[in-house]
Amino acid sequence: MSKKSDNFYFKNFVACAEYGEEASQMLHKNLSEFDVTSLSERLDQIHGIEHAADQKKHEMLAALVKEFITPIEREDIILISEAIDDVTDKIEDVMIRLYINNIKSIRPDALEFTKLITRCCKTLNKLVDEFKNFKKSKKLYGLMVEIHTLEGEGDRLFIEAMRRLHTEVSDPLEVIAWREIYIYLEQCCDACERTANAVEQVMMKNT
């Protein structure tokens, strides 16, 4: 298999990860500059990123069907591409919950979460970019550890945010709405960790 063909898959992984990072930045911006009157429009914008990421993934899967030889096994390419795509999906899910729960203002710990998610996505982007060198890379392990550490920060933030929600808020509808949002915010960090785990699994399998 030619190097050009090999690079197609690795470049596609990176492109999809970049969409995830873009979505995370948009999510943080939307919450930092929250405007309930433009929430529907901003939801459409983040959906556009998610749709572009889907198109990129399907482009790769369409090429995969026609390939005779691939740089890593087909199921590994699918595993990683699905994991990366799930990151963008989970970020869009947060915006959807803000919209359908009719959120009027943003709680401060939600902003801490979006900052953390952007850090997770940025690190994941670096990891996916480095993945093409997985047979000789000295950076991949450190990036994986960093993502696991960030996900641990997400777990801590989730517990603290949920505790404050249930001890400081008396309106049951607000508790229900924000409880769901916090769950989806935490899932964004989990999705980044799952992608790192998928990359590690494939790297161990092929070295």
**Dist. CA 115–CA 24, nearest whole Å:** 9
Residue ranges of the chain whose pLDDT lies below 50: 1-2
Model confidence pLDDT, tens digit, residues 78-129:
999 999 999 999 999 999 999 999 999 999 999 999 999 999 999 999 999 9
pLDDT for res 67: 77
pLDDT for res 143: 97
pLDDT for res 7: 84
Both tokens of 78, joined, read 């699918």
Q: Give residue 34's identity as a one-letter amino acid code.
A: F
70 and 77 Cβ atoms separated by less than 8 Å = yes
DSSP state of 136: T
Which domain, by its residues, includes 120? 3-205
> What's the CA angle centered on 65, arms 60 and 71, to 5 degrees?
65
pLDDT for res 2: 42
Angle between helices 3-32 and 108-130 (to 10 degrees): 170
Both tokens of 109, joined, read 């710990």
pLDDT for res 1: 38
> pTM of the full predicted structure?
0.93
User: At 193, which CATH number?
Assistant: 1.20.58.220
Per the structure, the count of domains in the chain is 1
